[in-house]
């Protein structure tokens, strides 16, 4: 038997702070970050003075703020930090922040770290035309000469990869739709989800407008204003706090490089071995799965790459209706970024914490011993994995 990994169960998530999400105005990204950390400290029963580490994943609207984690430290009046960084691996950052926090804590460099994401890309409606500025503007990156061909935005970048996956593996529009429908059914059970009150059938999915084929509107994640923070601390302190600790059993990063239209894979293929070995469990032990879902397609690929099905069979797997409420593999149980809210990698992290604490209400999964959390940034460019548990290691 392999020796127990020193990081297994060495740290835990002890606080979760989630601000109102969506078309929420009147706060800057920095303001949302302050709110999220304050909520997470309250949740844990900690005070500002207890923090000695601060990791920030700045969303798009932090653009012009250099040294963001320092700006945030100053805004919150935090003193004497021993760990601070502004990190950006896109959607993989949340998981990576928690990993770096855990590693620093386990090494004795600090004890209690706030990890936060926030963004405020949506602008309120202007009086003259009544329309806000939203997701299309925020994420429609123009890339130099490619604009002459009408190639704009992250939707199109992912669509090229998805189309290739459809060609190579036979993935269909129905497969993509099955992911959207399953996650909406979870969101319908989550009162905090932006799409809580909106049912979605496969017919609705097919009738929804195209954004960039093969993506309909409901293949694409929401865009949200808001903030989300977690507090990570050592095992001894975790046991003494207000909420049941969410123990960090396993972690890994995996960044494939190359062209995602060639690999058609996420970095989960690199992380699944080391993360599960550290956690000393297998994927068969996972009770609840929270996957990064910028698109329905990302969920299919990530399910394949963790080995829940064979490579290329993510589509048929999703279409078996195993991932929705009542299915044998609950995936994205709050509705995910497609139907709940878009806090990059903090969306899956936050839902895992809620599920492992047993706070899922109508959407609570049982058993809920072990959760798998993925983060994915860029176009399948960066990847982080966490294996979390409500049980001490």
Partner 1 sequence: MSARPLPEITPEMAPFWEAARRRTLVVQRCRGCGTHRFPARDLCSRCLGRDAEWVPVSGRGTLFSYAVMHQVYHPGFAGRVPYAVIVVELDCGARLVSNLQDTPLDRVRVGMPLEVAFEELSPEVTLPVFRPAAAP
* C-beta of 109 vs 168, nearer to partner 1: 168
326 binds partner 1 (CB under 8 A): no
At 276, is the secondary structure helix, strand, or coil?
A: helix
Does 134 contact partner 1 by CB under 8 A? no
The angle formed by the CA atoms of residues 66, 384 and 182, to the nearest 5 degrees, is: 110
- Alpha carbon 213 to chain centroid distance? 24
Task: Say how far apart CA 256 and CA 270 lie, in whole Å.
Answer: 8
Q: Tokens for 1?
A: 């038997």
Q: Measured between alpha carbons, how far is 355 from 365 in angstroms, rounded to an integer?
A: 7
Strands (E), 214-254: 215-216, 226-234, 246-253
**Options 149, 284, 326, 367; binder of partner 1; rule CB under 8 A:** 149
Q: At closest approach, how far in Å is the CB of 154 from partner 1?
A: 11
Site residues for partner 1, 264-323, by CB under 8 A, read none
Say whether 342 is catalytic.
yes
What's the CA angle centered on 31, arms 28 and 35, to 5 degrees?
140
**What is the C-alpha separation between 296 and 221, in angstroms, rounded?**
8
Q: Given the complex with partner 1, which of 53 and 214 has the nearer CB atom?
A: 214
The one segment of 34-42, 72-80, 174-182, 205-213 that binds partner 1 by CB under 8 A: 205-213
Residue 207 binds partner 1, judged by CB under 8 A:
no
Between CA 104 and CA 14 the distance in angstroms is 16
Q: Cα(279)–Cα(296) distance, rounded to whole angstroms?
A: 28
Query: Shortest approach of partner 1 to residue 219 CB, angstroms?
Result: 12
Residue closer to partner 1 (CB basis): 146 or 320: 146
Of 205, 292, 295, 306, which is the active-site residue? 292
How far are the Cα atoms of 45, 52, 81, 100 from residue 104, in angstroms, in the given order?
22, 11, 12, 6
Q: How far is the CB of 324 from partner 1 (least distance, A)?
A: 28
Rounded Cα–Cα distance for residues 375 and 290 (Å): 9
CB of 142 to partner 1, least distance (A): 7
The yes-or-no answer on residue 295 being catalytic is no
121 binds partner 1 (CB under 8 A): no
Q: Which stretch binds partner 1 (CB under 8 A): 108-116, 150-158, 243-251, 308-316?
A: 150-158
- Among 42, 198, 213, 320, interactor with partner 1 by CB under 8 A: 213
Q: Which stretch binds partner 1 (CB under 8 A): 17-25, 159-167, 345-353, 354-362?
A: 159-167
DSSP state of 12: E
Residue 106 or residue 160: which is nearer to partner 1 going by CB? 160
Judged on CB neighbours under 10 Å (0-12, 13-18, 19+), 193 is: buried
DSSP 145: G
* Residues 75-94 as b or e (16 or more Cβ within 10 Å = b): ebebeebebbbbbbbbbbbb
Would you count residue 208 as binding partner 1 (CB under 8 A)?
Answer: no
State the nearest-atom distance from the C-beta of 194 to partner 1, in Å. Answer: 20
Interface with partner 1 by CB under 8 A: which range of 87-95, 144-152, 282-290, 375-383? Answer: 144-152
Choose the stretch contacting partner 1; rule: CB under 8 A; options: 134-142, 231-239, 246-254, 381-389: 134-142
d(CA 117, CA 172): 34
Q: Which positions lie near partner 1, rule CB under 8 A?
A: 136, 140, 142, 144-153, 155-156, 159-161, 163-164, 167, 209-214, 259, 261
Active site residues: 292, 342
């Amino acid at each position: 038997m392999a020796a127990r990994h020193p990081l297994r169960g060495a740290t835990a998530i002890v606080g979760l702070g989630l601000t109102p999400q969506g078309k929420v105005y009147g706060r800057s990204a920095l303001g949302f970050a302050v709110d999220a950390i304050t909520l997470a400290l309250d949740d844990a029963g900690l005070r500002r003075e207890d923090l000695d580490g601060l990791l920030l994943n700045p969303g798009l609207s932090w653009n012009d703020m250099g040294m963001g984690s320092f700006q945030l430290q100053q805004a919150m009046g935090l003193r004497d930090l021993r760990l601070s960084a502004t990190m950006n691996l896109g959607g993989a950052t949340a998981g990576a922040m928690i990993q770096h926090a855990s590693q620093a804590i386990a090494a004795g460099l600090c004890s209690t770290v706030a990890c936060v994401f926030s963004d405020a890309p949506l602008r309120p409606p202007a009086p003259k035309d009544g329309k806000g500025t939203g997701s299309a503007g925020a994420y429609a990156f123009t890339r130099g000469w490619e604009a002459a061909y009408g190639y704009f935005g992250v939707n199109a970048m992912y669509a090229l990869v998805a189309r290739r996956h459809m060609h190579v593996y036979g993935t269909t529009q129905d497969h993509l739709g099955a992911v959207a429908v399953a996650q909406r059914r979870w969101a319908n059970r989550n009162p905090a989800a932006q799409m809580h009150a909106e049912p979605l059938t496969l017919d609705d999915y097919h009738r929804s407008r195209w954004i960039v084929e093969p993506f309909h509107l409901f293949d694409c994640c929401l865009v949200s204003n808001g903030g989300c923070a977690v507090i990570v601390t050592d095992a001894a302190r975790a046991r003494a706090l207000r909420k049941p600790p969410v123990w960090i059993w396993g972690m890994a990063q995996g960044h494939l490089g190359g062209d995602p239209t060639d690999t058609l894979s996420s970095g989960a293929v690199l992380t699944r071995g080391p993360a599960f070995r550290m956690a000393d469990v297998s994927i068969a032990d996972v009770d609840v799965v929270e996957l990064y879902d910028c698109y329905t397609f990302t969920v299919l690929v990530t399910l394949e790459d963790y080995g829940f099905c064979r490579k290329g069979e993510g589509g048929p797997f999703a279409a078996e209706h195993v991932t929705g409420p009542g299915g044998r593999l609950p995936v994205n149980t709050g509705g995910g970024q497609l139907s709940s809210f878009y806090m990059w990698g903090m969306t899956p992290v936050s839902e895992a914490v809620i599920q492992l604490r047993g706070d899922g209400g109508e959407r609570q999964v049982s058993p809920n011993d072990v959760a798998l959390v993925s983060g994915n940034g860029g176009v399948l460019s960066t990847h982080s994995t966490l294996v979390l548990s409500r049980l001490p290691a």
